[in-house]
Amino acid sequence: MQSGSNRAFRDMRETATQKAPEITFPCDYPIKVVGDAAEDFAAAVCAVIKRHAPDFNAADIRVIDSRNGRFQSVRLSIRATGEAQLKALFEELKATGRVHMVV
């Protein structure tokens, strides 16, 4: 007989190995970009986003400072057209050297 904690662990492990859900494109796709706080960080993020999603409206972004002011997150949404677009966008954001994380 298995204990409850062993069963819960097995269930968690099985869930972790399942494939991520498929995304149906085109779709509205939320993105959060985190980097070092700077006055031009949001503008730099928007410039990259515009290259990959020309219909992106920068007026809809939210910029949130971390508690100590060291980091900023830029939250936005684009109309995603496919996985290739998202991959290229994420790679260019990271290549700026200013972005720590894209979620």
pLDDT at 22: 84
Residue 31 falls within a domain, yes or no?
yes
CA-to-CA separations, 5 to 16, 42, 90, in angstroms, rounded: 16, 45, 38
Domain of residue 68 covers 21-102
Residue 44 falls within a domain, yes or no?
yes
The answer on pLDDT for 7 being more than 70 is no
Cα 18 to chain center, whole Å? 21
Residue 36 falls within a domain, yes or no?
yes
Residue 86 falls within a domain, yes or no?
yes
Q: Any idea which residue has 């062993």 for tokens? A: 6
For 54-82, the pLDDT digits (tens) are: 999 999 999 999 999 999 999 999 999 99
Which percentage of the chain shows pLDDT scores above 90?
A: 76
The answer on pLDDT for 16 being more than 70 is no
The answer on pLDDT for 15 being more than 60 is no
Among 75, 86, 89, smallest CA distance to 25 is for 86
Number of domains in the chain: 1
Read off the CATH number of the domain in which 33 is found: 3.30.70.260
